[in-house]
Chain A
C-alpha cells in the first residue's frame, strides 16, 4: 500500500535511495543537501540498508569515488549542491563520458560569490552541458518519484548516462510536504537489478577505463554521447509509463498546467511552478487564458515538445532562476531557440528571478503575465522580478 508521509524533500530523496539500497554511496555534506546524507547515513548505521558508504573528504572525491564504484559495476549514488557541484565539475564530465549510470541528487543552491546558501539554479545550469540527464522536481513528491525512476533511465542500454535529480534547496529540501511513497518491494522490483556492462572487477575480462583519446578518436566518442542523449526522451517516456502503472503518477518530458487553451504560457523550472499554478488559478478567475509549461527534463532539451506546445500561443514568458552573464538566461535561450522553427511564433519575454533565494511571489508572476497581456514583451530584453534596481 502506498504510504502518505509528511516529510521534507531531502528525506524523500533519501527514502527513495533507502528503498533502492544502492551498492555504494559517497557524499560530502553541504547546505542544503546535508539532510540527504544524514538520513542515508542513519539508514546505514541502523542496518536498514546494506549500502557501503564512503564519507569522503570533499565533493571532488565524492564524484571521483562514485565514478570508481560505478565503473566497478556498483549502483552508485551521491548528492550535493552549489559549490559542491562546482568542485565536482571536472569529474561530472568524466562520469558522463565514461557512460556511467550514476545518480546524483542536487539540492539547488546559488553559486558563490558572494557566498549564499539559498536556492537558485546556477549550480545545475553550470553543468547543463556536462552530458548528464537533468530532471527537475517541483516538490518533494516529484523529487521522490524521479529518484525512484533515475537508475532505470541511467542504466538503460540505449542511454548509459548519469542522471541528476534537481530539487530546489530549502524550498523542497527542507520544506515538509505530504509525500506518497511506494512499497519497498514495489520500488525494488521496479528498479530491478542492474545489468553490469564491462565491470572493472571482472578480472577475467580486464578492461581499460579512461584511456587517453587524441584527435583520431575523441570526436567519435563525443558523437556517441550526443547520440545517447537522443535516446533519452523515448526511454524516459517508456519508464514514465511503467512508473505510472505502479504509482498512478504520470510523468513526461514536460508538464502542462491549464495549457490546452492558454494564450499566455509561462515556462519555469522547479518549485516556482507551484506559485505559478496558484497565480494561474487567480488569473483564470479573471478570465485570462494563462497556462504553465514546466520542464521535467531540461537535459536533454526536447525541442519538439516545446515547438508542439508553444506554437500559435500569443505570448511565452520564460522565468529563469539563474543568469548567464553576457548572454540570455539558460532556460530562455533554450525555449527561444526551439521556437525559432515554429510556424506561428508567440511573443517572448525573459524574466530572471529568485537569485540567491530571493522570494518569488504571486505578485511577481502576475507582473510578468501582465507584461504579456499588454503586449509589452521585448524578445531581446531581460527583465528581473523582485529586484531592487
Chain B
C-alpha cells in the first residue's frame, strides 16, 4: 500500500527517521531530505534500516566524532567500497539468521548512500559487483553532479558546461566537455535489479519507488537528483525548485526499470527547454558568457529529448517483457529474506 502523507505525519511528527537534526550539512542541501524520505518509507513499512555511507558530504557532515546524527545502525568504511561493505553487512545478517542468532522474522532494510563521486566513478566496481551478486540492498546515489565535499570538482556526473575547479570555464575551454555518464542505464544493464530515478519534487513517486525496492527480491539502485546549493550556486531555499525544473525540462526523467521492464513514471507533455534549468543555476553563469554556450545547450537539449523519446520507446518495447523473471530466481542469493 502506498503511504499517505497523513500516515507519515502520524508516525514521524515527533521522531527522527534515522537521521537527526543537528548535522553539519549546508542549509538547504537536498541530501538529508533524500535520506529521510527513504528511511521513513522503510520504517513505515515495518523495516529497521541499517545504513552504510560512502565517504562524501553526507558522511563527513553527519558523523563528526564524538557526535553522530544517526540513530539507526550506521557504518562508513571508505569512499569507493560502500557497496562491498553493505554486502558484508547483509551477508552477516543472513548468516546470523541461519544460525538462529537473529529472529527469522526480523526485517532489516539495508541502505547504501553515496554521492555521484562514490557511485559513478570511484565506487562503480564495488557497486556493480554487489548488484551482480544479488545482495538485497537499496543503493541510493544523491547525485549532486560533482565532487562537492572537496569543493566542486568535476565528476562523471557533472553536466557539460558546468564550471568546476578541475574543468573550469576558462579562456579557451567552456567547462566540462562531456555529457553525464548514464549510470542509471549501467545499473539497469545488471538486469536482475530494480532501478529508478527520483526527485524531491515528486515525493510520492519517490516513496513508491522505495516501497518497490523494499519489496523487490534483489538489489535496487535509486538515483536521486540532489541539488548542491553551495556549488550549483542557487539560493539555499531552491533545492526543491531546482529538482522541479530538472524534472520539467526532462533533464532528470522520472522512470524505473524492473528486470529490464521500463516505465516512465512521470510523463511530461510539454517539457520546458533545458536552457531554463541551465539559466537557473550559477554554476552555468560562466558558460553563458561564452560564445559557444548556445551550442553546448543545444547539444544538451538534443540529448535530453532523444533520451526521453528512447525511454518512451523502451517502455513500449519492454512492456510485460522482463529480461529476467521468476525463472531465474535462483540468481537471487538472498531471496529468503526479501525485504
Q: Interface of A with B (CB < 8 Å)?
A: 23-24, 26, 50-52, 54-58, 60-62, 64-74, 76, 90-91, 94, 200-203, 206-214, 217
With contact pairs A64-B78, A65-B85, A65-B87 given, residues A50 and B93 touching in the complex (Cβ less than 8 Å): no
With contact pairs A24-B92, A200-B50, A206-B70 given, residues A61 and B84 touching in the complex (Cβ less than 8 Å): yes
Q: What's the minimum C-beta distance from A188 to chain B, rounded to whole angstroms?
A: 13
Q: Are A24 and B88 neighbours in the complex by a CB distance under 8 Å?
A: yes
Residues 112-153 of chain B, each 1 if its beta carbon lies under 8 Å from chain A, else 0: 000000000000011011101100000000000000000000
* Chain B residue at minimum C-beta to C-beta distance from A61: B84
With contact pairs A200-B75, A212-B59, A212-B63 given, residues A68 and B68 touching in the complex (Cβ less than 8 Å): no
> Which one of B59, B66, B76, B93 contacts A201 once the chains associate, using CB atoms below 8 Å?
B93
**24 A–B pairs (Cβ distance < 8 Å), ordered by A:** A23-B95, A24-B91, A26-B87, A50-B99, A52-B91, A52-B94, A52-B95, A61-B87, A61-B125, A61-B129, A64-B77, A64-B81, A67-B77, A68-B52, A68-B85, A68-B87, A69-B88, A72-B88, A72-B92, A203-B48, A209-B74, A210-B63, A211-B65, A212-B64
Q: Are A94 and B91 neighbours in the complex by a CB distance under 8 Å?
A: no
Q: Are A208 and B74 neighbours in the complex by a CB distance under 8 Å?
A: yes
Q: Does B72 contact A (CB under 8 A)?
A: yes
With contact pairs A56-B129, A57-B129, A211-B65 given, residues A94 and B77 touching in the complex (Cβ less than 8 Å): yes
* Chain A residue at minimum C-beta to C-beta distance from B334: A52
Q: Are B92 and A91 neighbours in the complex by a CB distance under 8 Å?
A: no
Cα distance, A71 to B53, chains bound together (Å): 14
Q: How many A-B residue pairs have CB under 8 A?
A: 167
* Chain B residue at minimum C-beta to C-beta distance from A95: B77
Q: Are A74 and B96 neighbours in the complex by a CB distance under 8 Å?
A: yes
Q: Are B84 and A60 neighbours in the complex by a CB distance under 8 Å?
A: yes
Chain A residues closer than 8 Å to B78, beta-carbon distance: 64, 90-91, 94
Instruction: Count chain B residues whose beta carbon lies closer than 8 angstroms to a beta carbon of A.
Output: 48
Q: Interface of B with A (CB < 8 Å)?
A: 48, 50, 52, 59-60, 63-66, 68, 70-78, 80-81, 83-96, 98-99, 101-102, 106, 108, 125-126, 128-130, 132-133
Chain A residues closer than 8 Å to B64, beta-carbon distance: 211-212, 214
* Chain A residue at minimum C-beta to C-beta distance from B95: A23
Chain B residues closer than 8 Å to A212, beta-carbon distance: 59-60, 63-65
Cα distance, A26 to B95, chains bound together (Å): 13
Chain B residues closer than 8 Å to A71, beta-carbon distance: 75, 88-89
Chain A residues closer than 8 Å to B72, beta-carbon distance: 203, 206
> Which one of A65, A73, A203, A214 contacts B84 once the chains associate, using CB atoms below 8 Å?
A65
Chain A residues closer than 8 Å to B81, beta-carbon distance: 60-61, 64, 91
* Chain A residue at minimum C-beta to C-beta distance from B88: A68
Cα distance, A54 to B89, chains bound together (Å): 11
Q: Are A64 and B93 neighbours in the complex by a CB distance under 8 Å?
A: no
Chain B residues closer than 8 Å to A74, beta-carbon distance: 88, 91-92, 95-96
Q: Are A203 and B77 neighbours in the complex by a CB distance under 8 Å?
A: no
Q: What's the minimum C-beta distance from B149 to chain A, rounded to whole angstroms?
A: 11
> Which one of A51, A70, A201 contacts B102 once the chains associate, using CB atoms below 8 Å?
A201
A-B contacts besides A64-B81, A210-B63, 11 pairs, CB < 8 Å = A23-B95, A56-B129, A60-B81, A64-B78, A72-B88, A74-B92, A201-B73, A201-B93, A208-B68, A211-B68, A213-B65
Cα distance, A47 to B303, chains bound together (Å): 52
Q: Are A210 and B125 neighbours in the complex by a CB distance under 8 Å?
A: no
* Chain B residue at minimum C-beta to C-beta distance from A71: B75
Q: Are B76 and A57 neighbours in the complex by a CB distance under 8 Å?
A: no
Q: Which 10 A-B pairs have the closest CB atoms?
A: A68-B88, A57-B129, A65-B88, A72-B92, A210-B76, A61-B84, A64-B84, A64-B81, A74-B92, A69-B88
Chain A residues closer than 8 Å to B80, beta-carbon distance: 60
With contact pairs A74-B92, A201-B93 given, residues A211 and B50 touching in the complex (Cβ less than 8 Å): no
Chain A residues closer than 8 Å to B130, beta-carbon distance: 61
Q: What's the minimum C-beta distance from B130 to chain A, rounded to whole angstroms?
A: 8
Chain B residues closer than 8 Å to A201, beta-carbon distance: 50, 73, 89, 92-93, 96, 102, 108
Q: Which of A51, A67, A69, A201 has the most CB of B within 10 A?
A: A201
Q: Are A57 and B125 neighbours in the complex by a CB distance under 8 Å?
A: yes
Chain A residues closer than 8 Å to B52, beta-carbon distance: 68
Q: Are B92 and A217 neighbours in the complex by a CB distance under 8 Å?
A: no
With contact pairs A24-B88, A201-B96 given, residues A58 and B66 touching in the complex (Cβ less than 8 Å): no
Cα distance, A105 to B231, chains bound together (Å): 46
Chain A residues closer than 8 Å to B102, beta-carbon distance: 201
Chain B residues closer than 8 Å to A76, beta-carbon distance: 88, 92
With contact pairs A58-B125, A60-B126, A72-B92 given, residues A200 and B99 touching in the complex (Cβ less than 8 Å): no
Cα distance, A200 to B64, chains bound together (Å): 18
Chain A residues closer than 8 Å to B83, beta-carbon distance: 61
Cα distance, A224 to B252, chains bound together (Å): 48
Q: Are B133 and A210 neighbours in the complex by a CB distance under 8 Å?
A: no
Q: What's the minimum C-beta distance from A307 to chain B, rounded to whole angstroms?
A: 38
